[in-house]
Amino acid sequence: MKILTAAQTREADAYTIQEEGISSAELMERAAKAFTGWFENKFQPGGEVHIFCGPGNNGGDGLAVARLLHERNYNVQPYLVGDISKASDDFETNLERLPQDLQTIHVEQEAAIPNLIGKGSCVIDALFGTGLNRPVTGLYAKVLEALNSSGVTVTSIDIPSGLYTDSQTPEDGAIVRAQYTVSFELPKLAFLLPQHEPFVGEWHVVSIGLSQQFISEVNTNYFCTKQEDVQRLLKLRKKFSHKGLYGHALLLCGGYGKMGAAVLAARACLRSGVGLLTVQVPQAGYPILQTAVPEAMTLTDRNRKHLSELPQDIQKYDVIGTGPGIGTERVTKTAIGQLLATSSHPTVIDADAINLIAASDKLKAQLYKKKLIFTPHPKEFERLVGKVKNDYDRLQHLREFCMEYGCYVVLKGSHTAVGTPEGKVYFNTTGNSGMATGGTGDVLTGIITALVGQQYTLEEACLLGVYVHGLAADLAFPSLGDIAMTASDVIDHLPKAFLHLTQLMP
Ligand X SMILES: NC(=O)C1=CN([C@@H]2O[C@H](COP(=O)(O)OP(=O)(O)OC[C@H]3O[C@@H](n4cnc5c(N)ncnc54)[C@H](OP(=O)(O)O)[C@@H]3O)[C@@H](O)[C@H]2O)[C@@H](O)CC1
Applying CB under 6 A, the residues found at the interface with ligand X are 13, 24, 27-28, 31, 54-59, 61, 88, 128-136, 140, 157-158, 184
Q: Is 41 annotated as a binding residue?
A: no
Q: Is 415 annotated as a binding residue?
A: yes
Between 8 and 58, whose beta carbon lies closer to K ion? 58
Between 136 and 230, whose beta carbon lies closer to ligand X? 136
Strand pairing category for 425-428 and 417-419: antiparallel
Strands of the 297-300 sheet, one edge to the other: 222-225, 425-428, 417-419, 408-411, 372-374, 347-349, 319-322, 248-252, 276-281, 297-300
Q: Is 58 annotated as a binding residue?
A: yes
Q: Which does 79 bind (CB under 5 to 8 A by kind): K ion, ligand X, none?
A: none
Q: Which does 136 bind (CB under 5 to 8 A by kind): K ion, ligand X, none?
A: ligand X
Q: Single out the segment in contact with K ion by CB under 5 A; choices: 55-63, 179-187, 241-249, 338-346.
A: 55-63
Q: Is 481 annotated as a binding residue?
A: no
Q: Which does 61 bind (CB under 5 to 8 A by kind): ligand X, K ion, none?
A: ligand X
Using CB under 5 A as the binding rule, whether residue 169 contacts K ion is answered as no
Q: Is 327 annotated as a binding residue?
A: no
Q: Is 148 annotated as a binding residue?
A: no
Helix (H, G, I), strand (E, B) or coil at 371: coil
Whole-number minimum distance, CB 202 to ligand X, in Å? 18
What single string gives the DSSP state of each residue in 297-356? EEEE-SSSSS-----TTGGG-SEEEE-TT----HHHHHHHHHHHHH--S-EEE-HHHHHH
Q: Which does 156 bind (CB under 5 to 8 A by kind): ligand X, K ion, none?
A: K ion
Q: Is 416 annotated as a binding residue?
A: yes
Using CB under 5 A as the binding rule, whether residue 155 contacts K ion is answered as no
To 5 degrees, how large is the angle CA 83–CA 88–CA 89?
Answer: 135
| HEC string for 65-128 | HHHHHHHCCCEEEEEEECCCCCCCHHHHHHHHCCCCCCCCEEECCHHHCCCCCCCCCEEEEECC
Using CB under 5 A as the binding rule, whether residue 308 contacts K ion is answered as no
Whole-number minimum distance, CB 142 to ligand X, in Å? 12
Phi-psi region of 270 (alpha: psi -120 to 50; beta: other; left: phi over 0): alpha
Between 178 and 284, whose beta carbon lies closer to ligand X? 178
Amino acid at 74: Y
Using CB under 5 A as the binding rule, whether residue 165 contacts K ion is answered as no
Between 74 and 140, whose beta carbon lies closer to ligand X? 140
Point out which residues bind K ion (CB under 5 A). 58, 125, 156-157, 161
Binding residues: 57-61, 125, 129-135, 140, 158, 161, 261, 325, 377, 412-416, 441-442
Binding residues for K(+): 58, 125, 161
